[in-house]
Amino acid sequence: CGRCKCAFCAYCLADCGDDAHRHVAECLLSSQPGEVYGLFSAFEEAQRQRRQRMVRAYLVTIQSPTVRKRVIAAVECNLTDL
């Protein structure tokens, strides 16, 4: 950002040092390959999909179906927009 001079990919959140433009244009998670500046709605969708992937990846690590169901129930209110 302009204040801290950090550069990160809006799609995958990768730390890109001091310039994210090249990475953003080539990011495999971008819904607009080759584009550097996208719509805010594309950013929101990319983040929604990223969160879905992260939740799924975590849930498969829970061996017990009972515990998995309890975890889902406990965080259900946080999953409504996914």
In DSSP terms, which residues pair with 15 in a beta bridge? 8
Q: How many residues does the chain have?
A: 82
The H or E element containing residue 51 is helix 40-59
- Give pLDDT tens digits for 1-14: 567 778 999 899 99
Give the Cα separation of 78 and 27 in Å (integer): 27
- Give pLDDT tens digits for 33-82: 899 988 889 889 989 999 999 999 999 999 999 999 999 999 988 888 77
Which pLDDT does position 18 carry in this prediction?
A: 87
Chain center to CA of 36: 17
Which pLDDT does position 3 carry in this prediction?
A: 73
